[in-house]
Amino acid sequence: MAIKDYLRERFFPHMWCPGCGHGTVLNSMLRAIENLALEKNDVVMVSGIGCSARISGYVDFHTLHTIHGRALAFATGVKMSRPDLNLIVPMGDGDALAIGGNHFIHAARRNIDITAIIMNNRIYGMTGGQFSPLTGYGKLATTSPYTNIDHAFDTVSLAIAAGASFVARTTTYHAKQMTDIIQKAIQHKGFSVVEVLTQCPTYFGRKNKEGGAAEMMENYKNITTPIGSKASRENPDLIERGIFVEKEMPEYCSEYNKIIQKAVKGK
């Protein structure tokens, strides 16, 4: 099946701003699904609200476009009722770590078989460029015109601490790596977190004088390094990318099914 077969082409051109990295995320995600030869009817994409959430409108899978911050809650319900399906949840800063933060940490500790793709563009783009939990200290936004004083979450550290059994980070510059990581995340039996550093030239880049899309993507090349590289040892300020955690743990739906079997047998 070709990539275009996974798209609802009638909804193109998309609503993302020129240079937005979310299109690259969509591209890499679809290539991962193509590599796995997944049938469209076997994939469910659940999204909340925001620029990242619009991805669900462009793919020809089963889709749920839900309320802000509750994408993982809806996805959990779908997965519990149909554990045979592949659940993919694209999220932005808010859906994942602000209003949706509580759902995120509990999905991780349960180790339910869902792939969460967190698009970290460090801003709330759809609603006008307000600062988010990932904006970072000292950065500018429409709601922090004199710089932001909130420190950003480390998404990878948070996911690991919450118990996710697959945790990875990549960037839109490293699109091939992104495809490989998302493919492994979908194949993994458990809660998978893939953080993608993705550019928002319209609000974050312009406000913080980081240039256009090309300059912001070039910056991802310069400020990141593979996990455990010599560069990361010599410069701890570099952001590591790759797969941080990939381990086998009891998966929630499988464990729940055991409870059902015990109840049926009256034990």
Cβ-proximal residues to 145 (8 Å cutoff; 6+ apart), any chain: none
What average pLDDT does the segment 100-116 reach?
97
In this prediction, residue 266 carries a pLDDT of 78
What per-residue confidence (pLDDT) applies to 86?
98
pTM above 0.85, yes or no: yes
What's the confidence (pLDDT) of residue 142?
Answer: 96
Residue 11 clears pLDDT 90, i.e. is over it:
no
Residue 240 has pLDDT above 80, yes or no: yes
Domain count, the chain: 1
Q: Given this model, what pLDDT does residue 265 score?
A: 87
pLDDT given for residue 267 in this prediction? 61
Mean per-residue pLDDT for 181-185?
98
Mean pLDDT of all residues in 180-200: 98
Q: Which residues of 143-172 are buried (b: 16+ CB within 10 A; e: fewer)?
A: ebeeebeeebbebbebbbebbbbbbbbbbb
Residue 70 belongs to what domain range?
3-265
Q: What is the CATH number of the domain that holds 188?
A: 3.40.50.970
Distance CA 199, CA 187 (A): 27
- Residue where the block lists tokens 């240079």: 19
> Residue 236: which residues within 8 A CB-CB, separation 6 or more?
none
pLDDT digits (tens, 9 = 90+) for 28-46: 999 999 999 999 999 999 9
pLDDT 10s digits, 66-81: 999 999 999 999 999 9
List CB contacts of 259: < 8 A, sequence separation 6 or more: none
Residues 6+ away with beta carbon under 8 Å from 15: 54
Q: Please choose, from the candidates 22, 72, 56, 2, the residue with its C-alpha nearest in 3D space to the C-alpha of residue 204.
A: 22
Residue 1 is predicted with a pLDDT of: 73
Half-sphere exposure of 27 (CA within 13 A, CB side): 14
pLDDT in tens, 117-173: 999 999 999 999 999 999 999 999 999 999 999 999 999 999 999 999 999 999 999
pLDDT-wise least confident of 1-5, 21-25, 130-134, 164-168 = 1-5
Of 110, 115, 108, 114, the residue nearest 256 (C-alpha) = 110
- pLDDT over 80 (residue 22): yes
Banded model confidence at residue 4, pLDDT cuts 50, 70, 90: confident
Summary mean pLDDT of the chain = 96
